[in-house]
Amino acid sequence: MAIDYNKLMSRKFERLEHTFTEKDTILYALGVGMGIDPLDEQCLQFVYEDGLKALPSMANVLAYPGFWAKEPDTGIDWVKILHAGQEMIMHKPLPASGTVEATTKINEIVDKGEGRGALILSERTVRDAATGEDLCTLISTTMARGDGGFGGPAVPSPKPDPIPERAPDMTCDLPTLPMSALIYRLSGDYNPLHASPSVATAAGFKAPILHGLCTFGVATHAILKTLCDYDPARFHRIRLRFSSPVYPGETIRTEIWREDDAVAFRCRVVERDVVVINNGYAEVS
């Protein structure tokens, strides 16, 4: 089965409603490493119910459509797909609890050619179910490695955001825990690749790897810490490309370049000196 461009572009997704509690908000924050130092009061506001705040990156798990690429009607060779990139646009800070709704849509499918795969860009806007206000817009880029050459229109691939050639203006080192993936998966992504040693080994990894969106959350934490003084209202936008997996327990160093309200960044694992997130861009105030 192959991708049918018109059919996939017009695919209808269900409107999803998602109710989350302060416990869910705390669990998400613990999963991306908040609270590793329980005496850090700036981090405590994301994992303690007294004045609880939601991390902006929690938007990724709200009204999440699940692994829809596995459904037969998509025509996607789902075994060969990778999460290549993610963008998050915050319209207002997330509440610590509430009910939200969202509907996913396909924005574009880029046919890179036979043997080169295809890029699938999907989007969902998460809204407050009670007021109808937009909270955030999430744009995902999926690399379908087995689906190139299906005959899609000649659409250029999105250009990556540049990384300055000079030394970073600042860096932020944040540890992950050996059980980080086991905590993070409780926020809704139960892919066994992040929990089962045998599944991870069969996939070519030495151990279960961290979820890409968990690494995304660590990068968000780094920017929130270094540039926003932990104030979610000052965090407006982030986009990035995933370049390599992280193993739970490794330290993630975010290298940051600041130019007015625009931010360039990348993340590398300190222990292996491997870039795991590249072409990062953020907007803060």
Catalytic machinery residues: 189, 194
Tell me the sheet residues that pair with 143: 82, 119
- Calpha distance 58→224 (Å, rounded): 13
- Calpha distance 285→280 (Å, rounded): 17
Coil, strand or helix at 72 = helix
Q: How far is CA 27 from CA 15, 16, 32, 62, 183, in A?
A: 25, 21, 9, 13, 8
Q: How far is CA 58 from CA 31, 43, 54, 223, 234, in A?
A: 10, 15, 7, 15, 16
